[in-house]
Amino acid sequence: MSEMDESRHWADVIAENVAATREKHIIATGITPSGSIHIGNLREVLTADGAYRALCDAGVDAELIYIGDTFDPLRKVYPFLPDDYAEHVGKPLYAIPCPCGNCANYAEHYLMPFLESLKELDIAPTVYRAHELYGNGDFVPATMKALRNRDKIAAILEEVSKRAIPADWSPFNVLCESCGRITTTQVTGFDERRETVDYTCDCGYAGTVPVKGNGKLTWRVDWAARWGILGVTIEPFGKDHATRGGSYDTGTRISREIYGYEPPYPIIYEWIHLKGKGAMSSSTGVTVTISDMLRVMPPEVLRYLIIKTKPEKHIDFDPSRIVELIDEYDRATGRARELSQTETSLRSDIPFTHIVTALQIASDPDGFQEVLRRSGYAAFDMESVQRRMENALNWLALYAPESVKFEVQETLPPVVESLTPEQRRGLLLLASGISDDLTASDLHDLVYEVSEEVGISGSKLFQAIYIAILGKKSGPRAGYFMASLDREFLLKRLREAGRE
């Protein structure tokens, strides 16, 4: 993979690098639905979609596909599962009961919400489920070739990964007819003409089954095989697979030497780190789900979070700072924003920061609109504002830090007793200087003029304003905040606090 051009968006550089190598490009992405699919997982899908869009924009024939690894086994009883799931450890995800009882199986329980989220994000891949591909026979030729070339594959794995391969290793894991597990079986032979395998299982069962639908290739062989089966030419994957001797290195050798297929162009991506908790992982419970994020930000902003950053750079994500991210998106221009657009994208006329403030002053629709008008937003697109209102209310409930939350006090707060004589005098002078024609910016400047006149710092007078109105020492941007309040209420409160 060539170095990214610093002056151009990473997706356009990838499109230029690969455009002439094939008549059609198939960009693949896939995730094992073993738990809630979070925004860390989403980076892979959005990276693939970014490359797909850049290719389409460049006039290249391209297709985006998604493979749900539904044939993968349940590795353990994760913290979010009840203890009775211990009996299903080792079974394929598609063959395990749904945790809520409303979906076809365990895999669909986590896969369906994810696919619904993709629709909101305006991502429309061709979706494959691994167990269906195996069940339809798509992997039969690749499986028989792997069984025939077992020794060659084992040699590649040992040479590339520097790990010893057991003498009884097989590239194919059989699904036991008795216990239903895929992790406890051992291939003892195969019949190439009949396309069957013989196996034994730790549960004591032994049998012979057709390859079709009764097992899957081991991960490193499966990955290499699917490239050729599905015609994959580009694929993003995490840095763990890109390490020296890792899955991509072995997959490259197996794809070329066993299956005669040139491996896809790699896009290696870094993790998304959740502030204070590290890299996101379903198995450890360090996650923020996509559906939760779509409650607190528009889909185009969630796209922007990932699309704006080069895949090889990690992303630090702090849900408490979503306000800043949304305002950054609204200010953004250029390719990152263009690749972030969805069919329902709406640029808000009002900063999200101010919507959060306005909602805490007046949450009912009529009062909210009046607050916006008082603070200088006489005309605005109500559809975009309404959607941002819903995002803001959810963010305040779920992720907003206490420092952002406030409540306008109906009566003079007792804490005003802590104000100094200079602060009280400043409040009285401020009230006398406020007229109906002052804008938010004028009010902000007035605070500094008054603070200088009474001989205190601007920050001390700002504190006095917040104490008088909110009952605490901090609050939203004072100019817009005061402009958003009913002018009669504001003047009365400043005078009351100043005389106290």
Q: What is the per-residue pLDDT across 272-282, written as a single tens digit (0 to 9) for each? A: 988 877 777 76
- Residue 289's pLDDT is 87
Q: What is the per-residue pLDDT across 137-194, written as a single tens digit (0 to 9) for each? A: 999 999 999 999 999 999 999 999 999 999 999 999 999 999 999 999 999 999 999 9
Q: What does 197-224 look like in DSSP terms, one character per residue?
A: EEEEETTS-EEEEESTTSEEE-HHHHHH
Q: What is the DSSP letter of 184?
A: S
Give the length of the chain.
500
Q: What does 454-481 look like in DSSP terms, one character per residue?
A: HTS-HHHHHHHHHHHHHSSS--S-HHHH
What are phi and psi for residue 444, nearest 5 degrees? -60, -45
The span from the CA of 356 to the CA of 395, in Å, is 9
The span from the CA of 266 to the CA of 51, in Å, is 11
Task: Please tell me the least confidently modeled range out of 296-300, 381-385, 469-473.
Answer: 381-385
Q: What is the per-residue pLDDT across 143-159, written as a single tens digit (0 to 9) for each? A: 999 999 999 999 999 99
Of residues 5 and 88, which shows the higher confidence score?
88
Averaged pLDDT, 89-97: 98
Percent of residues, the chain, with pLDDT higher than 70: 98
The tokens of 497 are what? Answer: 């606090």
- The helix, strand and coil proportions of the chain, stated in percent and rounded to the nearest 5, come to 50, 15, 40
Own/partner contacts of 75-81, CB < 8 Å, gap of 24 or more, are 75/34, 75/283, 76/283, 78/34, 78/35, 78/282, 78/283, 78/285, 79/284, 79/285, 80/35, 80/36, 80/285
The residue ranges of DSSP E strands in 32-136, in sequence order, are 61-68, 126-129
pLDDT at 5 over 80: no
Between the alpha carbon of residue 400 and those of residues 130, 320, 355, 481, the distances in Å are: 40, 5, 13, 18
pLDDT at 383 over 90: no
Q: Does the global pTM surpass 0.85?
A: yes
Q: What 3-state DSSP class applies to 392?
A: helix
- Strand 278-279 and strand 272-274: the pairing is antiparallel
Q: What is the DSSP letter of 80?
A: T
Indicate the angle between helix axes 421-433 and 458-470, nearest 10 degrees: 80
- Residue 1's pLDDT is 41
- Strand 185-191 and strand 196-201: the pairing is antiparallel
CA angle 341, 342, 346 (to 5 degrees): 80
- Tell me the CB-side half-sphere exposure of residue 245, using CA atoms within 13 A: 8
pLDDT at 471 over 50: yes
Residues 6+ apart with CB under 8 A from 415: 467, 471, 472
pLDDT at 283 over 70: no
Q: What is the per-residue pLDDT across 303-318, written as a single tens digit (0 to 9) for each? A: 999 999 999 999 999 9
pLDDT at 439 over 50: yes
Sorted by where each starts, the structural domains of the chain and their CATH numbers stand as 10-271 (3.40.50.620), 352-398 (no CATH), 414-499 (1.10.10.350)
pLDDT at 384 over 70: yes
- Residue 36's pLDDT is 86
